[in-house]
């Protein structure tokens, strides 16, 4: 019956209920492989090493990089009872806490490596030593496998060291400012201490290096500064400026030296300005305004009291302008008296170029321009009376004549011009008999006047003026005879005849 019951079980149930004592021999194909037994054996050995050997190895070291010091052999005392060994879980937790402690310890070492080149012991020794002492407390906890406590101590030490590192920029700025203030207060020793501290915090800092150099030169600088002030007070400005520049060379950042240079330079320029202005006024008094203006402009270029120099320049130029305007006004009066109206216009323009608002020039130029125009028209009419035989030209000349007669208080030149034009106008309207001669073969025409045709002798009354007689004959070259009538230039006879045959060379 038992065999029948086993025959109904599943393979899994058969395997679970079988025991080595009652198991039937298995077939060869279902026996475990020797490699399987070998693997299981290796796993068992590793587990034993982790449980029993690893804690011994770990306890041999204080830190990851420090081997535990050898201790003198202690007498073995029989333990009353042994503490229970940590479970694998507890070992895993300890390993994690140990790793965290090591990570924080690495931060401590990195920060320490950055602080040591800055000679942190010199400027924060107590804080630095306190942080290291806290780290040593962490070391003790680490040795006792109290990794959580070690981690807390390491973290506290790391934070303290990091605060020191982060305080470096602020300490540097404070040290530089304190050094500057100490120099201003005349305390070179205190300045040297602060600049030295700044150089520890930032070995390449140029301000710290310059501060130490200024501190080293302080005595010489102070002496030069004092000497410069005494010279300035005594009025020896040139020597004072030299001394101030010497002081500035010893301490380029000294505001007092720079202020002294600026003040003495201003005083020197002020003295130069006064001297140059005095020279300018002396030249002005001596009647040389142009040279005076040149001196005033030089004074303006000194950059001191520019408004005063500009006022002197403007005043002198106004004075020069007034003198020149008066001179030109005299020339205008002479030109107007001699009735040289075009010259007067030009001189008025010179006045207005100096000052466009001079009233007498504005009004006088307008009148002089009208008189110059009248003078030009009269001169043109008198010079060309031959054109008066043209009605339009005659009317224009007559208008010019009456315009001239309407002038009040005319000068002798205008009166003479008008009288001369009056005679010319009168004569231009009185016809003059002109005699013409031809060969009775030539057709004669007085251009723009009359056709005379063929004749041998004839005459024609013409107003004074210039005329052209045109002769034409078939087969002959035409001829043109120009003649003037009146004004004492009337010819005795005008001969018009064509005598040159066409195509015949002479």
Instruction: Tell whether 299 and 326 lie within a shared domain.
Output: yes
Q: What is the mean pLDDT of the chain?
A: 80
Instruction: Tell whether 337 and 361 lie within a shared domain.
Output: yes
* Residue-number span of the structural domain to which 242 is assigned: 219-285
Reported as type and span, the H/E element at residue 459 is: strand 457-462
Q: Classify the C-alpha dihedral 413-415-419-422 as positive or negative.
A: positive
Instruction: Tell whether 302 and 337 lie within a shared domain.
Output: yes
> Is beta strand 457-462 parallel, antiparallel or unpaired with respect to 432-437?
antiparallel
The tens digit of pLDDT for each residue in 64-115 reads 434 444 433 444 444 444 445 667 777 787 788 888 888 888 888 888 888 8
Domain boundary among 285, 317, 340: 285
> For residues 313 and 280, what is the distance between their CA atoms, to the nearest angstrom?
10
> For residues 63 and 106, what is the distance between their CA atoms, to the nearest angstrom?
11
The tens digit of pLDDT for each residue in 178-211 reads 887 887 777 777 887 788 888 788 887 888 887 8
Instruction: Tell whether 316 and 265 lie within a shared domain.
Output: no
Instruction: Tell whether 256 and 300 lie within a shared domain.
Output: no
Please check whether residue 345 lies inside any domain of the structure: yes
CATH code: domain of residue 273: 1.25.40
So what's the pLDDT on residue 7? 32
Please check whether residue 163 lies inside any domain of the structure: no
Please check whether residue 145 lies inside any domain of the structure: no
User: Quick one: tokens of 132?
Assistant: 């290291």
Instruction: Tell whether 297 and 355 lie within a shared domain.
Output: yes
Instruction: Tell whether 269 and 340 lie within a shared domain.
Output: no
So what's the pLDDT on residue 256? 81
Q: Do residues 298 and 276 lie in contact, with contact meaning Cβ atoms separated by under 8 Å? A: yes
Q: How many structural domains comprise the chain?
A: 3
Taking residue 161's Cβ as centre, other Cβ atoms within 10 Å add up to 26
So what's the pLDDT on residue 49? 53
Q: Check whether 17 has a pLDDT greater than 50.
A: no
Whole-prediction pTM:
0.45
Please check whether residue 299 lies inside any domain of the structure: yes
Please check whether residue 250 lies inside any domain of the structure: yes
- DSSP letter at 68 equals P
Please check whether residue 84 lies inside any domain of the structure: no
Mean pLDDT of 36-47: 64
Please check whether residue 210 lies inside any domain of the structure: no
CATH code: domain of residue 505: 2.60.40.1120
Q: What percent of the chain has pLDDT over 70?
A: 82
So what's the pLDDT on residue 4? 34
Domain boundary among 374, 399, 423: 374
Instruction: Tell whether 341 and 322 lie within a shared domain.
Output: yes
- Of 140-149, 374-383, 471-480, the one with minimum mean pLDDT is 140-149
């Amino acid at each position: 019956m038992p065999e029948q019951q086993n025959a109904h079980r599943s393979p899994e149930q058969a395997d679970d209920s079988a025991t080595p004592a009652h198991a039937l021999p298995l077939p060869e194909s279902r026996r475990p492989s020797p490699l399987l037994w070998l693997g299981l054996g290796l796993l068992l050995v590793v587990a034993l090493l982790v449980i029993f050997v690893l804690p011994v190895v770990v306890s041999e070291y204080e830190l990851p990089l420090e081997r535990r010091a050898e201790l003198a052999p202690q007498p073995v005392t029989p333990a009353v009872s042994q503490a229970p060994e940590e479970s694998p879980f507890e070992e895993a937790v300890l390993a994690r806490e140990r790793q965290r402690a090591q990570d924080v310890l690495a931060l401590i070492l990195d920060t320490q490596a950055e602080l040591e080149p800055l000679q942190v012991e010199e400027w924060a020794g107590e804080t630095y030593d306190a942080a290291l002492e806290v780290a040593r407390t962490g070391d003790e906890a680490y040795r006792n496998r109290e990794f959580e406590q070690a981690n807390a101590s390491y973290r506290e030490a790391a934070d303290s060291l990091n605060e020191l590192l982060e305080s470096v920029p602020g300490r540097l700025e404070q040290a530089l400012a304190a050094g500057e203030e100490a120099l201003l207060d005349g305390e070179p020793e205190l300045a040297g201490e602060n600049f030295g501290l700044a150089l520890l915090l930032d070995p390449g800092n140029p301000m710290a290096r310059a501060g130490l150099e200024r501190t080293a030169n302080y005595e010489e600088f102070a002496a030069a500064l004092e000497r410069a002030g005494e010279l300035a007070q005594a009025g020896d400005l040139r020597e004072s400026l030299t001394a101030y520049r010497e002081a500035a060379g010893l301490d380029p950042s000294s505001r007092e030296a720079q202020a002294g240079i600026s003040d003495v330079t201003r005083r020197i320029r002020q003295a130069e300005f006064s001297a140059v202005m005095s020279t300018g006024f002396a030249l002005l008094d001596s009647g040389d305004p142009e040279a005076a203006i040149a001196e005033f402009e030089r004074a303006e270029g000194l950059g001191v009291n520019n408004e005063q120099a500009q006022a002197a320049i403007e005043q002198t130029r106004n004075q020069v302008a007034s003198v020149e305007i008066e001179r030109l006004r005299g020339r205008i009066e002479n030109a107007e008296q001699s009735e040289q109206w075009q010259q007067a216009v030009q001189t008025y323009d010179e006045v207005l170029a100096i000052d466009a608002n001079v009233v007498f020039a504005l009004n006088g130029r307008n009148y002089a321009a009208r008189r110059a125009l009248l003078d030009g028209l009269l001169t043109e009419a008198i010079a060309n009376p031959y054109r008066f035989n043209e009605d339009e030209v005659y009317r224009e000349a007559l208008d010019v004549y009456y315009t001239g007669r309407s002038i009040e208080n005319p000068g002798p030149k205008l009166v003479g011009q008008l009288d001369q034009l009056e005679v010319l106008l009168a004569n231009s309207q009185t016809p003059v008999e002109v005699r013409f001669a031809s060969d009775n073969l030539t057709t004669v025409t007085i251009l723009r006047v009359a056709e005379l045709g063929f004749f041998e002798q004839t005459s024609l009354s013409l107003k004074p003026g210039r005329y052209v007689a045109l002769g034409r004959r078939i087969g002959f070259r035409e001829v043109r005879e120009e003649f003037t009538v009146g004004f004492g230039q009337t010819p005795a006879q005008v001969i018009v005849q064509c005598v040159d045959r066409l195509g015949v060379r002479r």
